[in-house]
């Protein structure tokens, strides 16, 4: 009856879009839904062609918001958390600088070294700027500092650098950050701009003491004050308001130092991230300026470097020795990408017991995004958010997933017959029904599942709990496998990172049956078992396994004690637990000497085999592939096409397809080059026959030949006009370009198969 409509609804809901044509490449998010308000960002689409209950819709959207916030929570400060050690080191470094001298006004001058500079190395990831931002924030909370945060991609001139410095300084010291509001309220902005421009040119030279006003968004009152400040009495301190350029900044420090002592003044921490993107010419001048004032201002430089050059090489690369000697360098290293990605995977997929999970293809996509193509946390975040959004927006069953199974009954009540039908459509549910018929021979149960909505509702909490348990057990077993590796792999290269293991877990047979896990053999058995026990204890869910392991552990302990007396026998279990002295000798003695030792060895081997078998079963059970679980479809997002379309657009390919195979888009008759096609497509296809340089006339002739097949009476002018139009379109698209020096020729810009 309504089956058909439900089926339709499932199809349109875009859970598993089968791509009928290239045009369908986007998620069919809004197909037939009723949209309430498209501007406020709250689309409330009612699925099942509007037959979803209101309440369910609202819950769905609430869940979505909650999940998105969770992502924000996990991503926020991610780098900061990952690099806590480094951050602490940096704190200490900043604290230690300028602290070894006496608290006199002169202490800065006694330094013979250059500016204290921390080089912070990390892989290329533009999102790292968050780290520096949060570092700056926490720094200004912790210590008395004035942090200047500079993004070098926005720096075009030296003026920008200086302006940033002053602005941050003023902001940190109480003045409003930008002051734009009051700036615009004032109408007394006069000829300052011209002065500023003039000053910039002077600045170009090098001079530091010129007293330029680089900060042009200050009012002219500041200018006057600055002039006065030059004649200020040494005893009165300069107010923060009067700081308009480097010169006045220096004066501020000087006057305040005389009053309160330099130590009480904030250190000027200048953080430049993406330092390697900064134009060396600008940076050089800036460093010279800073160097000039190092005796008056306590400056600490923190330079974020993302290039492959490490250590001093990063500076060598763009700067001469004369600049380098101005800096006193210290290196810091950020955590590496693999480590970061492992942590991300653990946060989002492994430890997260009831949330949206991804299948292997989206996972590979995320892996590529973070690990190889973009190396960017931001893209990872965007992709995850995209998955979550579309999951909740297109899947009416999503109300069941991100909630604790104990509370699920309230949600189950919201399900209507369309939901139930959708559940019945899922292959895994059908498998369950068949299971009831084939193996348990309960055809009645199977029948009621198919016909009675209530029986489906009653079984749902169990299924969901089962899923949750699976996820919990999976997390534990996964952790064990990850830990086990270091005890069993002789070659450290064979130890896999979490993200690799997780990708095995997502591919079909699952991690439990992956050969990497099967190959695992024991080395430090005792240590491992202890570790294992710890993990199990931590994870309360697998309580049932614990007693058995206590038992095993005790047995091992006993055996070990006895084997210590007979060290020779331990070699049977390969590299056994605790390496005792004298054990090395025993490794070579293959045959057990005494009968007693023989017994113990046998026992030991048996025990080892038992444990090994147990583990294999344990892994097989807990690390099975997710697709073996009933209703996995509503938990796992398995489609990656929309992600790829959004974040890795194939611009070139799409244009080439549009031109080369218009049939995909328009209903042209199939075939090679034919006059029925669009002019641009004809021209494009004709390109195949030409070399790098194409004579326009030749091209026109071939074009004419094809066009004339349609209509012999076509005039030359029309042919030419059509040719020109198509020609120009191809040029705009970039398929061809001017062959600069060669008149009458164009250059082909696209090669290969097209």
Partner 1 sequence: MPQIRNKVPRELKFLLESNKKFLTSFSAKGKTIAERNKQRRRGCQITNRVKSDSPFVVSEIVKEPVQEEQESVTESEDEEMQDEETDVVKALSALNKEFPRVVIPISNPGGKASYLKVTTRQIKIRSEQIQPVQENLTGSERYFEDNAMQTGRFRAKKTSDDIINLIHNESALSPVIERHVEEFNEIESYITKYFNQWEFQLNFNQNILLYGFGSKERILEHYQAFHNKSKSITWVHFYGNDDLITLDLAYLTLLENLFGPKSKYSKFTLVRKADLIRDYFKTTDVKSIFKIIIHDINGSVFENHEARIALVLLSGIPNIHLLATSENINFFSVWNLIEVDRMNWHAHGITSYGNYKLSMANRKKIVKTCQNFGLEKNEVKSVLMSFNTHRREMFYTLANHIVEAKRKGDTNWNGISLNKFFNYCNKNLICREKKNFHLYLEDYVRQGIFISNKSRSDEARITIPMSFRDIKAMLLDKEIFGYLKG
Element of type H or E holding 196: helix 192-205
CA distance 512 to 474: 10
- As a whole number of angstroms, the distance between CA 519 and CA 289 comes to 62
| Dihedral angle of Cα 500, 502, 507, 512, to the nearest 10 degrees | 110
What gap in Å lies between CA 678 and CA 656, rounded to an integer? Answer: 14
Distance CA 298, CA 147 (A): 12
CB 362 within 8 A of CB 640: yes
- Determine if 41 is a binding residue for partner 1 (CB under 8 A): yes
Contact status: 695 vs partner 1 (CB under 8 A): yes
Answer for the pair 108, 262: CB distance below 8 angstroms, yes or no: yes
Q: How far is it, in rounded angstroms, from Cα 431 to Cα 517?
A: 28
Distance of CA 670 to the CA centre of its chain: 43
Nearest to 136 by CA among 163, 111, 164: 164
| Cβ atoms 236, 242 nearer than 8 A | no
Residues numbered 714 to 743 that lie near partner 1 (CB under 8 A) are 717-718, 720-725, 727-729, 731-735, 738-743
Helices (H) and strands (E) in the chain, counts: 33, 10
C-alpha pair distances (Å), 649 with each of 17, 460, 539, 653, 655: 19, 40, 42, 9, 11
Give me the least distance between CB of 683 and partner 1, in Å please.
12
Compute the least distance from the CB of residue 194 to partner 1, in Å: 9
Of positions 131, 432, 517, 658, contacts partner 1 by CB under 8 A: 658
**Contact between 750 and partner 1 per CB under 8 A:** yes
The upper half-sphere exposure of residue 639, i.e. CA atoms within 13 Å in the direction of its Cβ, equals 22
Contacts of 740 (CB under 8 A, 6+ apart): none
49 touches partner 1 by CB under 8 A: no
Q: Which is nearer to partner 1, 547 or 741 (CB)?
A: 741
Q: Which of 35, 85, 259, 589 binds partner 1 (CB under 8 A)?
A: 35
> Which residues ranging from 594 to 653 are in contact with partner 1 (CB under 8 A)?
645-647, 649-652
Task: Work out how close the CB of 192 gets to partner 1 at its nearest, in angstroms, rounded to a whole number.
Answer: 9
CB-CB contact of 266 with 172 (8 Å): yes
391 sits near partner 1 (criterion: CB under 8 A): no
Do 748 and 690 contact (CB within 8 A), yes or no? yes
Chain positions 97 to 126 lying near partner 1, rule: CB under 8 A, are 126
Q: 470 exposed, middle or buried (CB, 10 Å; 0-12, 13-18, 19+)? A: buried
Interacting residues of 436 by C-beta distance below 8 A, sequence separation 6+: 442, 443, 445, 446, 449
Q: Is the Cβ of residue 538 or residue 652 nearer to partner 1 in the bound state? A: 652
Question: What letter does residue 163 receive in the DSSP assignment?
Answer: H
Contact region with partner 1 (CB under 8 A), list: 30-38, 292-300, 423-431, 440-448:
30-38
Stretch that binds partner 1, among 100-108, 347-355, 397-405, 661-669 (CB under 8 A): 661-669
Pick one of 58, 666, 689, 709: the residue that binds partner 1 (CB under 8 A): 666
Confirm or reject binding of residue 441 to partner 1 (CB under 8 A). Answer: no
748 class by beta-carbon count within 10 Å (0-12 exposed, 13-18 middle, 19+ buried): middle
Q: Nearest distance from residue 139's CB to partner 1, in Å?
A: 21
Check binding of 665 to partner 1 (CB under 8 A).
yes
Binding to partner 1, residues 169-188 (CB under 8 A): 177-178, 180-181, 184
- Structural contact between residues 195 and 213, judged by C-beta atoms closer than 8 angstroms: yes
Q: Give the number of residues in contact with partner 1, rule: CB under 8 A.
A: 87
Q: What is the smallest separation between the CB atom of 154 and partner 1, expressed in angstroms?
A: 5
**Binding residue for partner 1, selected from 2, 16, 26, 69, defined by CB under 8 A:** 26
In the bound state with partner 1, the residue whose beta carbon lies nearer, of 164 and 293, is: 164
Rule CB under 8 A: say whether 541 interacts with partner 1: no
> Is residue 153 part of the contact set for partner 1 (CB under 8 A)?
yes
374 contributes a contact to partner 1 by CB under 8 A: yes
Residue of the chain from 70, 160, 331, 466 that contacts partner 1 (CB under 8 A)? 160
Mark the segment that binds partner 1 (CB under 8 A) among 148-156, 205-213, 535-543, 577-585.
148-156
What residues from 260 to 299 belong to the interface with partner 1 (CB under 8 A)? Answer: 274, 277
Stretch that binds partner 1, among 53-61, 237-245, 293-301, 382-390 (CB under 8 A): 382-390
In a 10 Å sphere around its CB, with 0-12 CB exposed, 13-18 middle and 19+ buried, how is residue 239 labelled? middle
Strands (E), 91-238: 115-121, 145-151
Q: Does 364 bind partner 1 (CB under 8 A)?
A: no
With H, G, I as helix, E, B as strand and everything else as coil, classify residue 585: helix
Cβ atoms of residues 473 and 541 within 8 Å:
yes
- Would you say 117 and 329 are in contact if contact means Cβ atoms under 8 Å apart? yes
Interaction between residue 670 and partner 1 (CB under 8 A) = no
Stretch that binds partner 1, among 77-85, 311-319, 543-551, 662-670 (CB under 8 A): 662-670
3-state secondary structure of 301: strand
Angstrom distance (rounded) from CA 644 to CA 369: 10
Residue 527 near partner 1 by CB under 8 A: no
Asked if 533 contacts 549 with a C-beta cutoff of 8 angstroms, the reply is yes
- Among 4, 18, 20, 38, the residue binding partner 1 under the rule CB under 8 A is 38
| Contact between 318 and partner 1 per CB under 8 A | no
Closest distance to partner 1 from the beta carbon of 9 (Å): 18
Q: 3-state class of 148 per DSSP?
A: strand
Residue 705 interacts with partner 1 (CB under 8 A)?
A: no
In whole angstroms, how close is the CB of 696 to partner 1 at the nearest point? 4
Min CB(325)–partner 1 separation in Å: 30
Choose, by CB under 8 A, the member of 4, 20, 39, 454 that binds partner 1.
Answer: 39
Of the two residues 431 and 652, which places its CB atom closer to partner 1 in the complex? Answer: 652
Binding range to partner 1, per CB under 8 A, among 32-40, 239-247, 415-423, 436-444: 32-40
Least distance to partner 1, CB of residue 407, Å: 28
707 scored as a contact of partner 1 (CB under 8 A): no
Pairing of strands 745-748, 693-695: antiparallel
Residue 186 is given by DSSP the state: -
Task: Confirm or reject binding of residue 368 to partner 1 (CB under 8 A).
Answer: no
Residue 198 engages partner 1 in binding (rule: CB under 8 A): no
Q: Which is nearer to partner 1, 312 or 737 (CB)?
A: 737
Q: Which is nearer to partner 1, 193 or 554 (CB)?
A: 193
């Amino acid at each position: 009856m309504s089956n058909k409509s439900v089926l339709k609804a499932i199809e349109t809901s875009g859970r598993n879009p089968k791509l009928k044509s290239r045009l369908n490449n986007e998620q069919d998010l809004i197909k037939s839904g009723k949209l309430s308000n498209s501007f406020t960002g709250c689309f409330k689409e009612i699925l099942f062609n509007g037959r979803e209950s209101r309440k369910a819709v609202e819950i769905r959207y609430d869940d979505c918001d909650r999940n998105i916030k969770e992502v924000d929570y996990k991503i926020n400060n991610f780098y900061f958390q990952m690099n806590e050690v480094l951050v602490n080191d940096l704190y200490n470094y900043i604290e230690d600088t300028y602290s070894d001298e006496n608290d006199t006004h002169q202490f800065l001058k006694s330094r013979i070294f250059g500016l204290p500079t921390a080089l912070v190395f990390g892989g290329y990831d533009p999102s790292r700027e968050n780290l520096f931002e949060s570092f700056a924030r926490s720094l200004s909370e912790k210590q008395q500092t004035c942090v200047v945060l500079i993004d070098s991609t926005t720096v075009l001139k030296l003026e920008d650098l200086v302006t940033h410095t002053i602005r941050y300084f003023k902001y940190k010291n109480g003045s409003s950050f930008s002051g734009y509001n009051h700036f615009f309220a004032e109408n007394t902005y006069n000829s300052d701009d011209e002065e500023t421009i003039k000053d910039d040119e002077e600045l170009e030279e090098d001079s530091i003491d010129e007293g330029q006003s680089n900060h042009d968004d200050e009012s002219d009152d500041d200018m006057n004050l600055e002039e006065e400040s030059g004649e200020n009495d040494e005893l009165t301190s300069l107010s923060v308001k009067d700081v308009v350029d480097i010169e006045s900044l220096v004066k501020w420090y000087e006057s305040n130092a005389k009053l309160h002592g330099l130590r009480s003044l904030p250190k000027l921490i200048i953080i430049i991230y993406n330092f390697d993107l900064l134009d060396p010419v600008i940076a050089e001048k800036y460093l010279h300026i800073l160097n000039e004032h190092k005796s008056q201002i306590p400056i600490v430089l923190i330079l974020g470097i993302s290039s492959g050059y490490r250590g001093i090489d990063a500076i060598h690369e763009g700067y001469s020795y004369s600049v380098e000697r101005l800096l006193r360098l210290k290196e810091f290293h950020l955590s590496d990408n693999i480590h970061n990605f492992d942590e991300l995977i653990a946060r989002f997929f492994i430890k997260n017991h009831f949330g949206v999970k991804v299948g292997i293809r989206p996972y590979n996509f995320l892996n590529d995004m973070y690990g190889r193509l973009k190396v960017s946390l931001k893209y990872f975040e965007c992709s995850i958010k995209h998955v979550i959004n579309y999951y909740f927006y297109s899947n009416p069953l999503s109300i069941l997933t991100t909630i604790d199974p104990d509370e699920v009954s309230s949600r189950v009540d919201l399900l209507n017959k369309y939901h139930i039908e959708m559940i019945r459509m899922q292959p895994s549910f059908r498998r369950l029904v068949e299971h009831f018929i084939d193996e348990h021979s309960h055809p009645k149960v199977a029948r009621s599942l198919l016909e009675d909505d209530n029986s489906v509702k009653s079984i749902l909490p169990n299924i969901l709990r089962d899923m949750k348990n699976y996820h919990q057990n999976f997390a534990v077993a996964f952790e064990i496998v990850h830990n086990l590796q270091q005890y069993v792999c002789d070659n450290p290269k064979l130890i896999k990172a979490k993200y690799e293991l997780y990708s095995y877990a997502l591919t079909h047979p699952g991690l439990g049956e992956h050969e990497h896990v099967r190959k695992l053999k024991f080395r430090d058995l005792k240590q491992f078992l202890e570790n294992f026990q710890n993990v199990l204890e931590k994870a309360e869910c697998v309580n049932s396994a614990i007693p058995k392991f206590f038992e095993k552990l005790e047995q091992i302990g006993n055996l070990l004690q006895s084997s210590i007396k007979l060290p020779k026998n331990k070699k049977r279990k390969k590299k056994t637990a605790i390496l005792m002295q004298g054990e090395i000798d025993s490794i070579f003695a293959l045959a057990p000497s005494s009968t007693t030792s023989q017994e113990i060895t046998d026992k030991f081997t048996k025990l080892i085999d038992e444990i090994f078998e147990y583990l294999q079963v344990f892994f097989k059970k807990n690390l099975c592939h997710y697709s073996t679980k009933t209703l996995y479809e509503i938990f796992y997002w398995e489609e990656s096409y929309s992600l790829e379309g959004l974040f890795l657009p194939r611009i070139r390919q799409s244009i080439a397809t549009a031109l080369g195979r218009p049939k995909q888009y328009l209903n042209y008759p199939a075939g090679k080059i034919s006059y029925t096609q669009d002019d641009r497509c004809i021209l494009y296809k004709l390109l195949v026959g030409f070399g790098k340089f194409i004579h326009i006339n030749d091209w026109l002739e071939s074009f004419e030949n094809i066009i004339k097949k349609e209509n012999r009476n076509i005039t030359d002018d029309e042919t030419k006009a059509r040719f020109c139009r198509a020609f120009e379109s191809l040029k705009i698209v970039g398929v061809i370009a001017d062959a600069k020096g060669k008149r009458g020729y164009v250059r082909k810009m696209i090669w290969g198969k097209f």
